[in-house]
């Protein structure tokens, strides 16, 4: 993995933690903007249902999307995706080993100006019947093209970091 990739991942994670902490202190919200983010999540769910990588790609930022996902075969390592590599891996998944069901449920959205933070739950029922559930925090940004997803992180460690920061 290149230094640039590590730097981008570190900056994205630090930015997400910093921004989540700032939002926790100033609960600014806007119903119309929250609804726009909910519509983007609905588009993501539609992409899963229709197995449409282009539709999914339209929800991701062209300028700064990055996500790291724990490897199932080696949980001590992550796979880091940008927009293009995620869409490619996602298309491969839905073509060759799609879940029987995928659901992304919004639990809370906090809008703070051009940024929005979503706490959500994702459930996948795999072809073999195994169910995988995760709590996520997604960060969205609004630019001239509208709301786009810029990152998604596992909620449990993020919650732990925020609680520790709040205690300090």
Give the domain ranges of the chain.
3-167
Strands, E assignment, 5-154 = 67-70, 78-81, 101-112, 115-125, 131-143, 146-154
For 110, phi then psi, to 5°, come to -120, 125
Q: Print pLDDT tens along the chain (168 aa).
A: 565 555 444 445 555 555 555 554 444 568 999 999 999 999 999 999 999 999 999 999 999 899 998 888 998 999 999 999 999 999 998 888 888 899 999 999 999 999 999 999 999 998 889 999 999 999 999 999 999 999 999 888 888 888 888 887
Contact 147, 38 (CB under 8 A): no
pTM listed for this prediction: 0.78
CATH class as words, domain 3-167: alpha beta
Contact 48, 102 (CB under 8 A): yes
d(CA 55, CA 57): 5
The HSE-up count of residue 66 (CA atoms within 13 Å, CB side) is 17
- Of 167, 162, 164, 160, residue with least CA distance to 19: 162
């Amino acid at each position: 993995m290149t230094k640039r990739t590590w730097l981008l991942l570190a900056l994205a994670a630090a930015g997400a933690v910093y921004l989540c902490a700032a939002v926790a202190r100033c609960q600014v919200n806007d119903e119309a903007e929250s609804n726009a983010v909910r519509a983007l999540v609905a588009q993501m769910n539609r992409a899963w249902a229709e197995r449409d990588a282009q539709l999914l790609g339209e929800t991701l930022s062209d300028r700064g999307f990055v996500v790291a996902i724990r490897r199932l075969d080696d949980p001590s390592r992550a796979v880091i995706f940008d927009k293009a590599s995620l869409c490619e891996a996602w298309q491969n998944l839905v073509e060759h080993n799609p879940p029987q069901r995928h659901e992304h449920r919004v639990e809370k959205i906090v809008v703070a100006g051009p940024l929005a933070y979503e706490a959500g739950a994702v459930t996948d029922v795999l072809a073999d019947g195994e169910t995988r559930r995760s709590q996520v925090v997604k960060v969205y940004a609004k630019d001239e093209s509208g709301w786009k997803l810029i990152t998604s992180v596992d909620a449990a460690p993020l919650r732990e970091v925020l609680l520790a920061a709040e205690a300090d």
